[in-house]
């Protein structure tokens, strides 16, 4: 966590952590051991409102557990040698399959390698409905947050969700130079071939090969027109 982030409310910080995470550790109630917690590594993305999305196989043990008891927790953060010094969160709630085409498309843009898995009938996207979050952001900042403090109101993002695929395809096809400028100038991420993989009310996600970055918006956008205005503003900012 940066010095500036220490002054920010926890809700937006957790939301950004959810939006930038691409994997996590999922804990389910295990049916094979009579209820012992069972943990597994999973790929993650999220909806427009920052509800986590997971890709799970019906054949996996955690999926069998979920079918019997949908209560789960998901820990996200940097999983490495210094993980205990990093900002992290445990997301607590219930999980269920999602048939939403926009959510599936959003997940696959963030995990292109999962397209081959989705050709098999046993893989499905699941949505985690948050109930609370245990947030740890360094020494002395440990909080438990209600879901309402983290997840955006759904009605604020419905219009943008329906237009996201078109916006992303349009930017990558017709405004590749602007996408490159977002990455190099605003995110300080260099190299050719950056593409936009997602846009949500709070920012845009960018990818180059296996590298990822994010550019935050100045204000929350609530639909295609305000998203376009913000993208134009940011493009102009890269030229100043």
Closest to 197 in 3D by CA, of 177, 215, 218: 215
Pair 189, 115 in one domain: no
Pair 109, 136 in one domain: yes
Pair 134, 183 in one domain: no
Pair 48, 127 in one domain: yes
Domain containing 181 — which CATH number? 3.20.180.10
Domain boundary among 100, 127, 151: 151
pLDDT for the residue numbered 3:
47
Number of domains in the chain: 2
Domain boundary among 151, 166, 188: 151
The pLDDT profile of the chain, 240 residues, written as one tens digit per residue, is: 554 555 678 999 999 999 999 999 999 999 999 999 999 999 999 999 999 999 999 999 999 999 999 999 999 997 766 767 789 999 999 999 999 999 999 999 999 888 888 888 899 999 999 999 999 987 778 999 999 999 998 766 788 999 999 999 999 999 999 999 999 999 999 999 999 999 999 999 999 998 999 999 999 998 999 999 999 999 999 998
pLDDT for the residue numbered 85:
72
Domain boundary among 151, 178, 205: 151
Closest to 90 in 3D by CA, of 38, 143, 43, 49: 143
């Amino acid at each position: 966590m940066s010095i500036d982030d220490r002054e920010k409310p926890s809700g937006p910080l957790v939301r950004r952590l959810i939006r930038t995470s691409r994997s996590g550790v999922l804990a389910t109630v295990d049916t094979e051991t009579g209820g012992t917690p069972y943990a597994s590594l999973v790929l993650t993305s999220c909806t427009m409102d920052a509800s986590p999305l997971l890709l799970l196989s019906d054949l996996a043990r955690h999926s069998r557990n979920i079918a019997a008891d949908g209560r789960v927790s998901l820990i996200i953060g940097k999983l490495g040698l210094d993980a205990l010094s990093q900002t992290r969160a445990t997301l607590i709630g219930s999980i269920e399959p999602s048939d939403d085409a926009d959510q599936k498309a959003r997940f696959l843009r963030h995990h292109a390698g999962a397209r081959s898995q989705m050709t098999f009938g046993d893989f499905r996207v699941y949505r985690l409905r948050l109930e609370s979050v245990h947030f740890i952001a360094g020494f002395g900042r440990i909080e438990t947050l209600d879901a309402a403090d983290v997840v955006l109101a759904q009605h604020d993002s419905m219009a943008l969700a329906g237009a996201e695929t078109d916006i992303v395809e349009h930017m990558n096809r017709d405004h590749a130079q602007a996408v490159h400028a977002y990455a190099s100038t605003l995110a300080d991420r260099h190299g050719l071939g950056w593409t936009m993989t997602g846009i949500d009310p709070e920012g845009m996600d960018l990818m180059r090969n296996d590298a990822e970055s994010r550019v935050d918006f100045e204000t929350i956008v609530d639909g295609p027109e305000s998203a376009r205005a913000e993208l134009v503003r940011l493009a102009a900012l890269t030229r100043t």
